[in-house]
Chains A and B, each alone.
Chain A
Amino acid sequence: MIEDLTFIAQISIKSSVAVLLATVGGIITERSGVLNLGIEGMMLVGALAGFAAGHFTQSPVVAVAAGTMAGGALSLVHAFFTIALRSNQVLSGLALTILGTGLANFLGRPLIGQTGVRIRQLPIPYLSDIPVIGEVFFNQSPFAYAAYLLVPLAWFVLFRTRTGLVLRAVGEDARSADVAGVNVELTRTLSVFVGGLFAGLAGTYLSLSYTPGWKETMTGGQGWIAIAMIIFCTWNPLLAFFGALLFGGLTALQFFFQATSMDLIPSYVLKMLPYLLTIGVLVLVSASSRHRKSASPADLGVPFYREL
């Protein structure tokens, strides 16, 4: 029994890493007032770039760097159109996902079925020996450890540093921030870029560690789930742990049922659950925030013009 639970818990963490990283990146982007619905596309391109770099160089470091940078690079397309050209952020984000999917499909075609580098679980000495907790948290891939560090770091930067103050100010009220001497365009561009890096890293995790290999459908909507989780965790990176775990837990249950061939719940229902649950979460958030002030950055989705 305890082994089963440990197994489920460990898989939960493992399954939540990509959503967690993408969510935190999305929070950084949205806190600056830019909505980027292109996370799914950036993850996919990150996954492909990471896999391809690993395949050709056999270097895990190059692979991770390439995947992360690819996500960042694609995000700059969104930054250019929404920040410099003031295009509609919703549409540009959707277009980014379409473009990213197209790029990944097109460029990845020859790589289907190939092998790349694989980043395996890396138990942390001593910590992984702690009963249960060690197995669950410290017998993971380096990506999970990176997430353990990046999440609190993101929180710290956002809420305890001047950089974070500037970033949030731009997201809350770009005009006031501008008058206060903040470079709104630059701040937003950098925030979008950092969000892209996170999404790229999340995608790289999928293709190098979680399900090593390249498949066009490997993100399976995790980018969209991340966007829902941003709302769920009220734009706070620390709460993103819980949002991502919710998703990871369901995925783990799915594995568990499959592994033990229990058909309490038909498999197609299990497959639907993460999506249905995410919708449930959105409903919950909306219902509970109806009567209080929304936690959403006030200028989210609003383009900024100086001359108004």
Chain B
Amino acid sequence: MSDPVISLRGLSKRFGPVWANREVDLDLFPGRVHALLGENGAGKSTLMSILAGRYGADKGTLMMHGQEVTFSSPAKALDHGIGMVYQRFMLIESMSVADNLALTVGKKYGRRGVDYEIRQTAEQYGLAVDPEKRIFELSMGERQRVEIIKLLMLDAEVLIFDEPTSVLTPPEVDALFVIIDRLRGEGKTIVLITHKLEEVLKLADDISIMRKGRLIISEPIDARQMSRQQLARLMVGRDVVLRVDKKEVALGETVLALDGFSGDSPSGGPSFNEVTFEIRKGEIFSIIGVAGNGQTGLVSAIAGLSRAGAGTITFDGTSYTAREWAMASAAEIAYVPEDRYQSGSIGSMSIAENFGLTRLQAYRSGLAGLLLDREKMAADGRRAIGEHNIKVESSEASAGSLSGGNLQKVILARELTRKAKLFIAEQPTQGLDISATEDIWQALLECREKAGVLLVTGDLKEVLSLSDRIGVIFNGRILEIIDAHDSDRVDRVGLLMAGVRS
């Protein structure tokens, strides 16, 4: 192996009292893909952000070609040839591809030179993209390509990808892998931050695993010699049982039935068309799809938060038109929303106060029910902390001080206490670590004993672990509804998510 391009020695970074990175040593080599693995909060993104100049390190050194360097900003890191493709793309949506690139590289090439360089670079690496299109008109895969072109136009040697596949459809993932392979062939150094083991096994030459801010495998090792189980154990620090305890539950009455349900997303997102399915008590019905295929608008309309345009909805035996449903009270529906930080909870309020959000009717007291029963709220908060093993000192702690997993448990606990006939969970374990995920899966499985559960997610593993039936959504339509026990058809879910109907 040749000399490393990048060497980190004893790198440490602290956020307040918490060490995000501690004494990290790492070498990156040219022409190799280095996978950086770890659970959420393990410190992967922080480490790479230091390398890309977004954060300064508190301790340790960063060497490039054997020379010590420090970057005070991402731009400085780019000057040295280190660039990062962030999970949230750093592109200005209202501007064209060419303007975006001109912003970064305009000084180097001049405005006219930029257009020429875009075509050159795109051709050289097989990254097709229309320079005149505005970013918001592009698909996620195309946006990612713009980011890669940006780094290449700056002659980046080191390209860091932060969970690059999380927003892509399966065919786009394959295309990305081809691109990465090509970059490797050109002698670039690639870092792949991920927690998806399949990607590592497919693509990586070297591998590092982080846990709680430390690099637990500090020597690069050949990824192909490891098994999935080994990798997973190294990541979590214990054996992972990704199987859940799924009891058989007898099906009950139909809780929810949609017929020809169509409408727009409230925020102008993609619409959903002619959605028809039913959910019975005792089952988990999943809607799986890549983000942005109409599921946000669909869930919002089912939960009664926005009005669908057409179709009927039957809930607990009563039929409503789309308009009537939006007017009707949604008291019987529990709903764990995708955005747990801004929608599902209020960070600056206490855990107890967060219980009032959807359960206000239960806390009415005094004076014709105009007053708020704070005692009862606090009692509910305390009970939830005990029952769901939420790690916090008291129910008076602010929701914002909780970790993602604990916060999600608070929201879940609150929605469970509503004892609703329909329970909607939207991306319930997104971004959570394995142990919190297991707890939430267990709770959802228990929940179906008393209610019908609608699970909306993009996580195939989640769907396969929990569902009884699976509806695949693509481009606003449910392409197929598949019985989870039908293993032949279940294999096709991935293809269906990409819109491939064979």
Interface residues, chain A, with chain B CB atoms under 8 Å away: 162, 165-166, 168-169, 172-173, 175-182, 293, 298, 306-307
**What residues on B are CB-neighbors of A179 within 8 Å?**
54, 74-75, 86, 90
Partner of A165, one of B86, B94, B102: B102
**What residues on B are CB-neighbors of A172 within 8 Å?**
92-95
Told that A173-B92, A306-B54 touch, could you supply 9 new A-B pairs with CB distance under 8 A? A172-B93, A176-B89, A176-B92, A177-B103, A179-B54, A179-B75, A181-B73, A182-B103, A293-B268
Give B66-108 as 1s and 0s: 1 = Cβ < 8 Å from A's Cβ atoms.
Answer: 0000000111001000000010011111110001101110110
> Are A175 and B90 interface neighbours, CB within 8 A?
yes
**What residues on A are CB-neighbors of B90 within 8 Å?**
173, 175-176, 179-180
- In the complex, B19 has a CB within 8 A of chain A: no
Q: Complex formed: what's the CA distance from A122 to B182 in Å?
A: 68
Considering only CB atoms, which chain A residue lies closest to B83 in the complex? Answer: A179
Considering only CB atoms, which chain B residue lies closest to A180 in the complex? Answer: B104
Q: Complex formed: what's the CA distance from A126 to B103 in Å?
A: 44
CB distance from B245 to the nearest CB of A (A): 39
- In the complex, B340 has a CB within 8 A of chain A: no
Considering only CB atoms, which chain B residue lies closest to A160 in the complex? Answer: B111
> Are B93 and A162 interface neighbours, CB within 8 A?
no
Q: Complex formed: what's the CA distance from A58 to B104 in Å?
A: 49
Give B24-40 as 1s and 0s: 1 = Cβ < 8 Å from A's Cβ atoms.
Answer: 00000000000000000
CB distance from A53 to the nearest CB of B (A): 40
CB distance from B82 to the nearest CB of A (A): 12
**What residues on B are CB-neighbors of A182 within 8 Å?**
75, 103
Partner of B99, one of A165, A181, A298, A306: A165
Q: Known contacts A162-B111, A165-B99: does B92 contact A177 (CB below 8 Å)?
A: yes
- In the complex, B177 has a CB within 8 A of chain A: no
Considering only CB atoms, which chain A residue lies closest to B86 in the complex? Answer: A179
**What residues on A are CB-neighbors of B363 within 8 Å?**
none
Partner of B55, one of A168, A176, A293, A307: A307
Q: Complex formed: what's the CA distance from A32 to B342 in Å?
A: 26
**What residues on A are CB-neighbors of B75 within 8 Å?**
179-182
**What residues on B are CB-neighbors of A306 within 8 Å?**
54, 73
Q: Complex formed: what's the CA distance from A209 to B131 in Å?
A: 49
* Sampled A-B contacts (25; CB under 8 Å): A162-B102, A162-B106, A162-B111, A165-B102, A172-B92, A172-B94, A172-B95, A173-B91, A173-B92, A173-B93, A176-B90, A176-B100, A177-B92, A179-B75, A179-B86, A179-B90, A180-B100, A180-B104, A181-B78, A181-B104, A182-B75, A293-B268, A298-B93, A307-B54, A307-B55
**What residues on B are CB-neighbors of A173 within 8 Å?**
90-93
**What bracket does the count of chain B residues touching chain A fall in?**
20 to 34
Q: Complex formed: what's the CA distance from A181 to B82 in Å?
A: 13
CB distance from A32 to the nearest CB of B (A): 13
**What residues on B are CB-neighbors of A178 within 8 Å?**
73-74
Q: Complex formed: what's the CA distance from A293 to B137 in Å?
A: 13
**What residues on A are CB-neighbors of B86 within 8 Å?**
179
Considering only CB atoms, which chain A residue lies closest to B154 in the complex? Answer: A181
Q: Complex formed: what's the CA distance from A165 to B90 in Å?
A: 16
CB distance from A66 to the nearest CB of B (A): 36
Considering only CB atoms, which chain B residue lies closest to A291 in the complex? Answer: B268
CB distance from B181 to the nearest CB of A (A): 26
Q: Complex formed: what's the CA distance from A306 to B111 in Å?
A: 27
Q: Complex formed: what's the CA distance from A168 to B78 in Å?
A: 22
Considering only CB atoms, which chain B residue lies closest to A168 in the complex? Answer: B95
> Are A180 and B55 interface neighbours, CB within 8 A?
no
CB distance from B402 to the nearest CB of A (A): 19
Partner of A169, one of B73, B103, B268: B103
> Are A169 and B95 interface neighbours, CB within 8 A?
yes
Considering only CB atoms, which chain A residue lies closest to B88 in the complex? Answer: A175
Q: Complex formed: what's the CA distance from A162 to B54 in Å?
A: 24
**What residues on A are CB-neighbors of B54 within 8 Å?**
179, 306-307
Considering only CB atoms, which chain B residue lies closest to A182 in the complex? Answer: B103
Q: Complex formed: what's the CA distance from A197 to B126 in Å?
A: 49
**What residues on A are CB-neighbors of B103 within 8 Å?**
165-166, 169, 177, 180, 182
**What residues on A are CB-neighbors of B55 within 8 Å?**
307
Q: Known contacts A181-B74, A181-B78: does B106 contact A165 (CB below 8 Å)?
A: yes
Q: Known contacts A162-B106, A181-B104: does B94 contact A176 (CB below 8 Å)?
A: no
Considering only CB atoms, which chain A residue lies closest to B102 in the complex? Answer: A165
Q: Complex formed: what's the CA distance from A118 to B99 in Å?
A: 46
**What residues on B are CB-neighbors of A180 within 8 Å?**
75, 90, 100, 103-104
CB distance from B138 to the nearest CB of A (A): 14
Q: Complex formed: what's the CA distance from A173 to B135 in Å?
A: 12
**What residues on A are CB-neighbors of B102 within 8 Å?**
162, 165
Partner of A298, one of B94, B107, B111: B94
CB distance from A295 to the nearest CB of B (A): 10
CB distance from B171 to the nearest CB of A (A): 27
**What residues on B are CB-neighbors of A176 within 8 Å?**
89-92, 100
CB distance from B241 to the nearest CB of A (A): 36
**What residues on A are CB-neighbors of B74 within 8 Å?**
178-179, 181
Q: Complex formed: what's the CA distance from A177 to B75 in Å?
A: 10
CB distance from A177 to the nearest CB of B (A): 7
**What residues on B are CB-neighbors of A165 within 8 Å?**
99, 102-103, 106
CB distance from A95 to the nearest CB of B (A): 24
Considering only CB atoms, which chain B residue lies closest to A173 in the complex? Answer: B92
**What residues on B are CB-neighbors of A169 within 8 Å?**
92, 95, 103
Considering only CB atoms, which chain A residue lies closest to B15 in the complex? Answer: A307
CB distance from B394 to the nearest CB of A (A): 29
**What residues on B are CB-neighbors of A162 within 8 Å?**
102, 106-107, 111
**What residues on B are CB-neighbors of A177 within 8 Å?**
92, 103
A-B pairs, 5 with minimum CB distance: A181-B75, A176-B90, A180-B104, A179-B90, A173-B92
Q: Complex formed: what's the CA distance from A298 to B92 in Å?
A: 10
**What residues on A are CB-neighbors of B106 within 8 Å?**
162, 165
**What residues on A are CB-neighbors of B89 within 8 Å?**
176
Q: Complex formed: what's the CA distance from A178 to B86 in Å?
A: 13
**What residues on A are CB-neighbors of B92 within 8 Å?**
169, 172-173, 176-177
Q: Complex formed: what's the CA distance from A177 to B92 in Å?
A: 8
CB distance from B235 to the nearest CB of A (A): 26
Q: Complex formed: what's the CA distance from A177 to B90 in Å?
A: 8
**What residues on B are CB-neighbors of A307 within 8 Å?**
54-55
Q: Complex formed: what's the CA distance from A182 to B268 in Å?
A: 31
CB distance from B270 to the nearest CB of A (A): 16
Q: Complex formed: what's the CA distance from A173 to B136 in Å?
A: 13
CB distance from A185 to the nearest CB of B (A): 11
Q: Complex formed: what's the CA distance from A175 to B54 in Å?
A: 11
Q: Complex formed: what's the CA distance from A306 to B72 in Å?
A: 11
Q: Complex formed: what's the CA distance from A180 to B100 in Å?
A: 9
CB distance from B467 to the nearest CB of A (A): 36
CB distance from A183 to the nearest CB of B (A): 9
**What residues on A are CB-neighbors of B73 within 8 Å?**
178, 181, 306
Q: Complex formed: what's the CA distance from A307 to B53 in Å?
A: 11
CB distance from B13 to the nearest CB of A (A): 11
Considering only CB atoms, which chain A residue lies closest to B101 in the complex? Answer: A180
